[in-house]
Structure 1
Amino acid sequence: MIVPSARRVTGRAWALPGSYGFTRPRTLRKYSSEVATQSERPAIKKRPQFHDYFVTHLPSSSLHPDPRGPTSPFHKLPRSASIPHVGNTSHSPTTFQNLVDREMTVVRIPLRSAKHHFGAVTARGTRPRNEDTYQAGVIDVPAFAKRPPASLTIKRSNSPNSSRESRAADTANGDPQVFYFGIFDGHGGSECSTFLQENLHEYIQNSAADFELQSSLRTNQQRVSCGEAAATSVTTSTLPVMQEANRKRIGDLEKSLVQNWRQLVGGYFKRFKPPQFSYYGPDNSTENAASKGYVAIEEVMEYAFLRADLDFVKAQAAKRDDDLALAEKPLNEDEILHSPSLTRTPKIGGRSRFKGGSTGSIALISTPSPTPFWHPAGPSSLLVAHVGDTRILLCSTLTGQAVPLTSNHHPSSPIEAGRLRRYAATFVTDSFGEERMSGLANTRAFGDVQSKRIGVSAEPELCRVEMGPAEFSFMVMVSDGISGTLLDQEIVDIVKEARTPEQGARDVVSFATEVTREGDNATCLVIRLGGWERRLEGGVGSLGTKESREWRRQDATDPRRSRT
């Protein structure tokens, strides 16, 4: 039955239960006898919203003059009347007191336009098209940050300046905003990377809602000890804060997801046990924290990654190739997956089957207070979920060194080689000296439907960093078009010399495009952190790689370079 377009139908429209965005005119209701009546239909849960802007509080003078303020500018007042206002001291002028105590205004600031907080630049290079994509915004999930000590919370609440500090607005559930940054590098086309750009954040939001995940900032929240920190320059933890959730529902969802991978794909996934899934934990008989109704945000991220990859793979397996001879064969003769007849997913990624894939690196930042994560005095929690060879770096404010948070999932990695030796058909070395598995450079990726059975999965590598106030200057996310050309420290030093994150991202892409020999797609995201103003103070600043970068630029512009 063909449903008329919404423009030509008059009258009230209603939505089918369990569907998102699909509406049917009320006049067509008689054709759907299986649909329950209006009173019997369950209420449809509102879909979480993803915003590419952040909400903050600004003084009213930032938008329009304050009529209660003084008539003359402050810089023209005498020195005796220009003493900064602190608390309720008697030396502050009355006009200044009125200006400070006025109400703040809630403002929406587009994240991609806030060049002093975020910068993103992408370039096609010498490739015929750009297959890189990225995403940035505020995601609607409960906070996962560690709650600050009670002594610190009480001290801030009693401070007279606590209400005047720069702070962001709370979300609808009462938690501070959780920021979401993602970078995706497609191969074989941009269908998969575009799918992740448009949908991966929704998978994370829906997974948190399905798990019934609760905020980590509640006063009655129980926690699990994080153990000893890793021997690195950042504080990582393998057992982060545990949050309340529906443990029984989580077990059912995880069991169903793993069974779908086994039945649909087979091969590597027949003995597949996701490391973060507590349903397949080492000891489910004991009375541990997971069995009491608690879950970590890492488990939510792994479920969302595998769920998104499964839906994309199912959609591609259900399509026909362009070859007319293959199109006449029954679907059960398809050998790409173990049971292709189980694919019943709507069209994703175009009309024909997409055989390529995409990498993906996600960074979530949550704060324990309304103070934004870029505030110099505010701590925050960073969660990184990574698949492939895109890269995420931090710049240490104290030392100025680049701190990598991800590793490349290549066949040359001992961990990846050990994981896939029993399943992969062959490991070969190409003419550039790089190891490849069945022609692929990445051992973990979204998509790549023809290589799923040998173990090319979207199991994310997870890393959690508890960032102290101004501990790091900024965060950089780059695709392999940049990380394959520049060293980590070179990328960080280039950003140090920029005035804004937007200029830093542009300088990194420009320099990588200038000195590269491959001409791959290049994408760079720079996110400002608490120590941004002190980015040149640590170590030797940007001088550590300045000489080598100048030499590389001169070598790239040398006309004799093309002869070698």
Structure 2
Amino acid sequence: MIANSTKRVTVEVWTLADSYSFIASFARRRASASPRNGSQNTRRRHFHDYFVTHLPSSSLHPDSRAPHPSFHKLPRAASLPHTGGISQPPAVLQPLVGRETTVVRIPLRSAKHHFGASFSRGSRPYNEDTYQAGVIEVPAFAKRVPRSLTIRRRNPDGSPAPPLNENRGAESASGDPQVFYFAIFDGHGGSECSEFLRDSLHTYIEDTAEDFELQSSLRKRDDAASSEVQDEQYEDAPESDAELPIMQHGNRRRIGELERNLLDEWKYLVGGYFRRFRPVHFTCYGEDDRGSRATNSAPASGDDTKNGVSIEEVMEYAFLRADLDFVSAQASKRDADPVREDKPLNEDEILEKPSRTRTRQIGGRERFKGGSTCSVAMISTPTPTPFWHPSAPSSLLISHVGDTRILLCSTASGEAIPVTSVHHPSSPIEGSRLRRYAASFVTDSFGEERMSGLANTRAFGDIQSKRIGVSAEPEIRRIEMGPAEYSFLVLMSDGVSDALSDQEVADIIKEAKTPEQGSKDVVNFATEVSNVGDNATCLVIRLGGWERRLEGGLGSMGTKESRDWRRQEATDPRRSRT
């Protein structure tokens, strides 16, 4: 590499030996910068596809501490009618004060009243969609509730009252309320990338939070080592800031090193679009290649409390790291075509012989050129009350790449509220971002714009289109959900969203008794009326306003007539003749 310091111009000259030396140092830099990410081959975290909660002991076995046997067990001659003068009420009418609770595991995929998932491969030979649902081990990122709502309860005599055990979820290993994780992945060109994201993306998020030394947003740093009652931790917490994003404690020096190394790896391994790539949520770029300090760099101190780290920055780093590992693993494999095996992936590819590189092995032996879209929804609560309880506020974080969709249903109006956008070349934002790099945008026979043969401008994988800007940089959105503000949350692949409108999806779920039944009804209806027959996957998550889902607006009747007409048209035998 030769640099002209007077004109501040950098000229890069790469040879074959330089490529091999860079790959050799690639793993060493990652091991020193992020030892946990570099050791994923030997250590894989087990995903918790269940949630942990407290259940009263009365729901598991009868109360053996009752002072008297139940009245229904007495002989008829000894039974007396109930009168107001009974001094000792029956045991079955006594309030459950001081009753013990039992911590139990409830598999989320079996909790049909809280979560439902359904999928269909349509007319495709196999299903490329995958999904994941469970609890993820990251510090809480919820917004603290006002102090007026967290005042510790007291008895009439002034003594502290014990915490309520009912409607209370168990804490995670860090002592925070559990963070729920729901994700849907739509693969294209095969299911290898979507299966990798299903099995590993949550691990990247957990490892990134650990590498960043992310702290909980619900308490002060001095409260982390406290062993007081849970309510006291929230009572002593300061009032929440009104602005977003919420900054949490983290090691800024460590974060800066990790982000700079990640950007360098993207720049030298892929190049093209990533030579000037600056992620939106990265706040610490450090020294650039010319030796000058970036304008938005954070201080060099280790634990910076004023300029902390947000959960949005954690998610963006995890997405880009997972995509880089997948792309580098595919570049190191042999191509199915022996003639193209040792040719560059693109005409000006930096790596001269990618088949000779050796990185982490992901998937099969041959190079996978497809990719996958991704939509992740994470829910964190400020109290142990679960997010589906009608009185519980919660924070929803959406991280989205591609054309899978996430929507909410408003309890008050009954309207479907989309919270993601479609990353297609027809999008003005995506078009302006990529026109300087893409060779051309073409329109296929269906009238859809495509770039380099791809319908999605953001996706995991797709190694042959990385240099022109097809990245896994997520679109991140945070939503503060009030108690019972929304009825349910829906994640769906394009096999559903292309066949049904958002309001039709919401109205179908309103008519179902459980989220599980709602997901099945959506997939069945989408498969029935679709002309494409694409893979269809739908996830439905119950929120606080589920019991009132039919009260807002027109309920499910807004699209009832159009849905009946579409079903009649789909089942009409004369339809195939036209």
Does the alignment pair 1:240 with 2:251? Answer: no
2:270 to 248, 265, 268: 265
Alpha-carbon shift at residue 318 of structure 1 (Å): 0.7
Distance 2:461 2:238 in 1: 38
Does the alignment pair 1:284 with 2:297? Answer: yes
Distance 2:37 2:402 in 1: 37
Q: 1:112 maps to which residue?
A: 109
Paired residue secondary structure (1:255): helix
Kept in 2: contact 1:359–1:446 (CA 8 A): yes
Question: Partner amino acid for 2:263?
Answer: V
Does the alignment pair 1:558 with 2:572? Answer: yes
Q: Deviations over 1:406-447 (max 9, x none)?
A: 000000000000000000111011111111111100000000
* Residue 554 to residue 272, structure 1, CA distance change in 2 (3 Å): same
Q: 1:197 maps to which residue?
A: 198
Paired residue secondary structure (1:172): coil
* Residue 499 to residue 333, structure 1, CA distance change in 2 (3 Å): closer
Question: Partner amino acid for 2:555?
Answer: G
Paired residue secondary structure (1:392): strand
* Residue 185 to residue 157, structure 1, CA distance change in 2 (3 Å): farther
Alpha-carbon shift at residue 338 of structure 1 (Å): 2.7
Kept in 2: contact 1:278–1:290 (CA 8 A): no
Kept in 2: contact 1:141–1:178 (CA 8 A): yes
Q: 2:214 maps to which residue?
A: 213
Q: Deviations over 1:257-306 (max 9, x none)?
A: 00100001011001100010001485337899978451000000000000
Alpha-carbon shift at residue 62 of structure 1 (Å): 1.9
Q: 2:442 maps to which residue?
A: 428
1:446 to 449, 454, 460: 460
Distance 2:468 2:40 in 1: 35
1:252 to 248, 257, 262: 257
Distance 1:466 1:360 in 2: 22
Kept in 1: contact 2:508–2:522 (CA 8 A): yes
* Residue 242 to residue 332, structure 1, CA distance change in 2 (3 Å): same
* Residue 187 to residue 77, structure 1, CA distance change in 2 (3 Å): farther
Q: 2:188 maps to which residue?
A: 187
Q: 1:412 maps to which residue?
A: 426
Kept in 2: contact 1:49–1:139 (CA 8 A): no
Kept in 1: contact 2:183–2:374 (CA 8 A): yes
Q: 1:374 maps to which residue?
A: 388
1:131 to 124, 128, 138: 128
1:495 to 509, 517, 522: 509
* Residue 268 to residue 156, structure 1, CA distance change in 2 (3 Å): farther
Q: 2:361 maps to which residue?
A: 347
Q: 1:86 maps to which residue?
A: none
Kept in 2: contact 1:224–1:242 (CA 8 A): no
Kept in 2: contact 1:50–1:140 (CA 8 A): no
Kept in 1: contact 2:144–2:239 (CA 8 A): no
Distance 1:162 1:17 in 2: 39
Q: 1:231 maps to which residue?
A: none
Paired residue secondary structure (1:244): coil
Distance 1:432 1:91 in 2: 77
2:339 to 305, 312, 325: 325
* Residue 532 to residue 413, structure 1, CA distance change in 2 (3 Å): same
Distance 1:363 1:218 in 2: 23
Distance 2:470 2:49 in 1: 31
TM-score normalized by structure 2?
0.82
Alpha-carbon shift at residue 60 of structure 1 (Å): 1.4
Q: 2:492 maps to which residue?
A: 478
Question: Partner amino acid for 1:183?
Answer: I
Distance 1:287 1:223 in 2: 28
TM-score normalized by structure 1?
0.84
2:350 to 311, 332, 338: 338
Kept in 2: contact 1:132–1:522 (CA 8 A): yes
1:532 to 523, 543, 546: 546
Paired residue secondary structure (1:256): helix
Q: 2:518 maps to which residue?
A: 504
Kept in 2: contact 1:388–1:408 (CA 8 A): yes
Q: Deviations over 1:323-366 (max 9, x none)?
A: 22334x4x768748433668532221211000000000000000
Distance 1:468 1:175 in 2: 20
Kept in 2: contact 1:48–1:206 (CA 8 A): no
Distance 2:518 2:557 in 1: 16
Q: Deviations over 1:105-159 (max 9, x none)?
A: 1110000000000000010000011000000010000000011111110055779
Question: Partner amino acid for 1:440?
Answer: L
Distance 1:77 1:345 in 2: 80
Show structure 2 runs of 5+ residues with no match. Answer: 1-35, 74-78, 222-236, 286-293
Paired residue secondary structure (1:436): strand
* Residue 341 to residue 66, structure 1, CA distance change in 2 (3 Å): farther
Kept in 1: contact 2:249–2:305 (CA 8 A): no
Question: Partner amino acid for 2:454?
Answer: L
Q: 1:306 maps to which residue?
A: 320
Q: Deviations over 1:53-97 (max 9, x none)?
A: 0000111122222223452479x997878xxxxxxxx99766543
Does the alignment pair 1:176 with 2:177? Answer: yes
* Residue 337 to residue 525, structure 1, CA distance change in 2 (3 Å): farther
Distance 1:107 1:427 in 2: 54
Kept in 1: contact 2:115–2:515 (CA 8 A): yes
Distance 1:290 1:503 in 2: 48
Distance 1:470 1:155 in 2: 23
2:144 to 142, 147, 150: 147
Alpha-carbon shift at residue 494 of structure 1 (Å): 0.4
Q: 2:4 maps to which residue?
A: none
* Residue 461 to residue 290, structure 1, CA distance change in 2 (3 Å): farther
* Residue 428 to residue 19, structure 1, CA distance change in 2 (3 Å): closer
Q: Deviations over 1:159-211 (max 9, x none)?
A: 96951431100011100000000000000000000000000000000000000
Paired residue secondary structure (1:134): strand
* Residue 267 to residue 126, structure 1, CA distance change in 2 (3 Å): same
* Residue 486 to residue 313, structure 1, CA distance change in 2 (3 Å): same
Q: 1:167 maps to which residue?
A: 168
1:517 to 518, 531, 545: 531
* Residue 97 to residue 161, structure 1, CA distance change in 2 (3 Å): farther
Q: 2:50 maps to which residue?
A: 53
Paired residue secondary structure (1:218): coil
* Residue 315 to residue 18, structure 1, CA distance change in 2 (3 Å): closer
Paired residue secondary structure (1:279): coil
Aligned length: 505
Alpha-carbon shift at residue 251 of structure 1 (Å): 0.5
Q: CA RMSD in A?
A: 2.9
* Residue 534 to residue 541, structure 1, CA distance change in 2 (3 Å): same
Distance 1:429 1:157 in 2: 67
